[in-house]
Amino acid sequence: MLLRQAKDAAEQARGDTERSGMERSAELKALTVKLERERQRAASERTRAERAVAEAEIARQSAKEARQADEVRLDLLIGTIDGAIDGLRRELSLGAGGQRRPADTVLGASAGLAEGGRVRDVVALDRLLSLPNVHLIVDGYNITKTGYPELSLADQRDRLANQLSALAARTGAEVTVVFDGAGVLSVPAASPRGVRVLFSDRGVLADDVIRSLVAAEPPGRPMVVATSDRAVADSVRRRGARPAPASVLVSRLGRV
């Protein structure tokens, strides 16, 4: 009788132990699942926080770049206004009508400007390049293939850049020349003095870079775009620039 009672007690104790172990295992499993969910939630929050920080930095950098671009445009506009005032003073000192301004003279010059505002000869080009704070933008290969197509592309670029450097030194104009970047294996380590040499990025046409350069300028700044590409000439003229055919610039550079 006592032996049977002892066996029953042992069986019950073993069952209690197994049930207790299963309960503890279930509790441990539930706790593990809860911890994993908390870890995933924390990771998600950290990812969102990092994304928010990155977006804030991008916004800050974009605002900084926009502010710098506005400051550059403002400086150029102020320089243009100052130059126009100086030109007006010179006109007045020469006895010209008090209502006339330098820009009025250029716009009305029939000897060098054809219908639509295009520059048609070197005299007209020189008049424009003498304007205060003028920006000459050059369609690189359009000019070189008009002036010296027999040279290699690298030699064409070097010759044009050097000629433009001499022109910039004589006129004081800001000069930018744009070449198509496609197929260019190496670019010069440095540009000639007074000339900004640009190559279009992969997938970007030099024509579009020229349009962007014109669009970036403040209203009222005198601009000349040297190109014989009709589409480019028409688009930049609508933004206030004066197109000059490649042959006119080639002729002008031949006198430098």
Residue type, 64: K
Q: What is the pLDDT of residue 211?
A: 93
Q: What is the pLDDT of residue 115?
A: 38
Q: What is the pLDDT of residue 238?
A: 92
Q: Kindly state whether residue 170 falls inside one of the protein's structural domains.
A: yes
Angle between helices 206-216 and 230-238 (to 10 degrees): 10
Tens of pLDDT, residue by residue, the chain (256 residues): 666 766 666 677 676 676 666 777 777 788 788 888 888 888 888 888 888 888 888 888 877 777 776 776 666 667 667 655 655 554 444 333 444 433 333 333 333 333 345 688 899 999 999 999 999 999 999 999 999 999 999 999 999 999 999 999 999 999 999 998 876 666 665 678 999 999 988 889 999 999 999 999 888 899 999 999 999 999 999 999 999 999 999 999 988 6
Q: Are residues 47 and 65 in the same domain?
A: yes
Nearest CA to 225 out of 213, 212, 209, 241 is that of 241
Cβ(252)–Cβ(160) under 8 Å?
Answer: no
Q: Kindly state whether residue 222 falls inside one of the protein's structural domains.
A: yes
Q: What is the pLDDT of residue 6?
A: 66
Q: Are residues 68 and 119 in the same domain?
A: no
- E-assigned strand segments in the chain: 135-139, 174-179, 195-199, 223-226, 242-244
Q: What is the dihedral sign for C-alpha 100, 103, 106, 110?
A: negative
Q: Kindly state whether residue 105 falls inside one of the protein's structural domains.
A: no
Q: What is the C-alpha separation between 251 and 194, in angstroms, rounded?
A: 20
Which of 76, 100, 124 finishes a domain? 100
Q: Are residues 184 and 93 in the same domain?
A: no
Q: Are residues 123 and 27 in the same domain?
A: no
| Domain span at 177 | 110-253
Q: Kindly state whether residue 154 falls inside one of the protein's structural domains.
A: yes
Q: Kindly state whether residue 216 falls inside one of the protein's structural domains.
A: yes
pLDDT in tens, 135-176: 999 999 999 999 999 999 999 999 999 999 999 999 999 999
Q: Are residues 53 and 151 in the same domain?
A: no
Which of 42, 74, 100 finishes a domain? 100
